[in-house]
Amino acid sequence: MSDALHIVLDDTAMTAAGQGNVLASRLIHRAHAESGWYLYAPACALVEADRARPGTAEHLAALPGIAVLDLDLPAALALAGRETWAAAHCRYAARPTPDRPDGAIVATTSPKRWHGEPVRVLDLNA
């Protein structure tokens, strides 16, 4: 198990960050200021967040602590059979990889959306 903390923001977390959610803001600050904290914004979720709250995508993409994850071919193939691209891209981004053997945690303000999915969830509603 790694000491690094990898967190994927879903579209609801991105929207919440733009609306001043304290927990989302803390995640962004830590990813920028602390070693071992990694925050990811999957492109499909970024699009959905911007649809819900225009300006969100540009704002989050400009923050130094957030890595925007492109929709590459493997990700696109993983999304093909899913209902929503935003959630599917987050799920794909949270899977274990050689760089993240434990996978990533999905930060969300809608934890019920993730019931039954093979991801760990961080509820930003606390």
pLDDT at 53 over 80: yes
- Helix or strand run (H / E) with residue 68: strand 66-69
pLDDT at 2 over 90: no
Q: What's the confidence (pLDDT) of residue 72? A: 87
Q: Which of 83, 98, 91, 88 is nearest to 119 (CA)?
A: 91
Mean pLDDT of 76-80: 80
Confidence bin at 74 (pLDDT 50/70/90): confident
Q: Say how far apart CA 107 and CA 25 lie, in whole Å.
A: 12
For the entire predicted model, the pTM comes to 0.92
pLDDT at 79 over 80: no
